[in-house]
């Protein structure tokens, strides 16, 4: 006898107009030179690698957690994409939720502590429209990715704040956004219209799209801002696949640059793997993106700080490196 399954049809779904939003589009920062630059040496090196990757046609990827979007750095990322310095974005499922809500209503984020008490957390009608977009895309083209489907819907649809949407901007620029979903991780999985087959198919397609971009990582750059699990784990598998194929034709994917930006306090010798009895061993970006995947020829950098500081600082460093290159 199989275990019973939760009946989602009995859920009460409320409109977003009844939710108190913790963030509005007012959090989105305007493009401007940061007043002060932290981690100048590290970001200068990464910026030079980004410039070089663009000139040579090698991949430059940015992976992120949902908090990056909540930190208001959209215009900095969109500008880097527009100028050809990022050619793939990768995010978890919360990323598309925050991007979608901001594009639709100019606000996002709710109080978990408040709404979990009444069983309202995540159960908002308009946010669930994301499932409709995913389901429709799956029916019409089962090879499409989730990032592409949602980005196209925002780009073509009536979204008053699409100017701050990473997915819409990337779709307009024909830059892949890959969305790496964990079942049950995201609020839209609560909704009656969530189709696990559609969600799984589109997110898996995105994983394969991401792996294809990683095939061109030799001489390139991969960055991770704020993703402690998704980014290092997805990158690890994609790199293994890419190297497997490269080795079959005597190619290498060894000489690339990694950057991790997070709040974790790493030691100065972060390019060495710590012992298993150290808590930092379980901070996956450290051992995966700063040590193991670059151990045979790559370079790694770590910057500690809030995303609203580190990403504008990266943008400013790219500008400086671009200017220096043009004057040579």
- Is residue 2 situated within a structural domain? no
Query: For position 280, what pLDDT does the model report?
Result: 84
In what helix (H) or strand (E) does residue 257 lie, and over which residues does it extend?
A: strand 257-262
CA distance 184 to 160: 29
Prediction pTM value: 0.96
Q: What is the pLDDT of residues 128-183, one digit of tens each?
A: 999 999 999 999 998 999 999 999 999 999 999 999 999 999 999 999 999 999 99
**Residue 248 is assigned to a structural domain of this protein:** yes
Structural domain contains residue 217: yes
Residue 3 lies in a domain: no
Pair type for strands 299-304 and 107-108: unpaired
Please tell me the predicted confidence (pLDDT) of residue 159: 98
CATH of the domain at 205: 3.40.50.10690
Q: Give a yes or no: residue 10 inside a domain.
A: no
Residue 76 lies in a domain: yes
CA distance 86 to 65: 16
Under the banding of pLDDT at 50, 70 and 90, the label for residue 284 is very high
CA 224 to chain centre: 8
Give the chain's domain count. Answer: 1
Beta-bridged to residue 272, according to DSSP, are: none
Identify whether 5 is part of a domain: no
pLDDT at 7: 98
Alpha-carbon span 303 to 169, nearest angstrom: 26
For residue 257, pLDDT over 90 is answered with: yes
What residues make up the domain containing 58?
Answer: 15-24+38-326
Is the predicted pLDDT of residue 35 greater than 80, yes or no?
A: no
Residues 6 or more apart whose Cβ sits within 8 Å of residue 88? 59, 60, 61, 62, 175, 176, 177, 178, 210, 213
**Residue 116, in any domain of the structure:** yes
Q: Which residue has the tokens 């001489």?
A: 219
pLDDT at 108 over 80: yes
């Amino acid at each position: 006898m199989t275990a019973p399954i939760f009946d989602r049809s009995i859920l009460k779904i409320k409109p977003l107009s009844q939710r108190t939003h913790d963030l509005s589009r007012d959090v989105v920062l305007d493009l401007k030179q940061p007043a002060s630059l932290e981690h100048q040496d590290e970001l200068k090196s990464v910026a030079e690698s980004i410039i070089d990757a663009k000139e040579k046609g090698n991949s430059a990827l940015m992976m992120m957690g949902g908090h990056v979007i909540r930190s208001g750095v959209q215009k900095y990322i969109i500008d880097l994409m527009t100028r050809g310095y990022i050619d793939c974005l990768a995010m978890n499922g919360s990323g598309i939720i925050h991007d979608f809500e901001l594009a639709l209503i100019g606000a996002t984020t709710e109080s978990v502590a408040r709404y979990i008490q009444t069983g309202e957390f995540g159960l908002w009608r308009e946010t669930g429209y994301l499932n409709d977009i995913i389901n429709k895309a799956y029916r019409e083209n089962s090879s499409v990715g989730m990032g592409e489907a949602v980005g196209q819907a925002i780009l073509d649809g009536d979204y008053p704040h699409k100017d701050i949407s990473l997915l819409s901007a990337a779709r307009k620029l024909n830059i892949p956004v890959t969305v790496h979903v964990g079942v049950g991780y995201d609020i839209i999985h609560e909704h009656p219209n969530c189709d696990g087959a559609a969600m799984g198919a589109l997110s898996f397609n995105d994983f394969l799209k991401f792996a294809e971009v990683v095939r061109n990582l030799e001489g390139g750059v991969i960055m991770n801002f704020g993703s402690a699990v998704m980014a290092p784990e997805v990158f690890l598998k994609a790199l293994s696949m890419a190297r497997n194929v490269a080795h079959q034709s005597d190619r290498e994917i060894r000489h690339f640059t990694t950057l991790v930006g997070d709040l974790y306090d790493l030691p100065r010798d972060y390019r060495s793997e710590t012992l298993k009895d150290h808590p930092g061993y379980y901070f996956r970006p450290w051992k995966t993106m700063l040590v193991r995947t670059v151990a045979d020829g790559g370079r790694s950098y770590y910057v500690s700080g809030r995303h609203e500081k580190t990403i504008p600082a990266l943008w400013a460093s790219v500008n400086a490196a671009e200017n220096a290159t043009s004057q040579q």
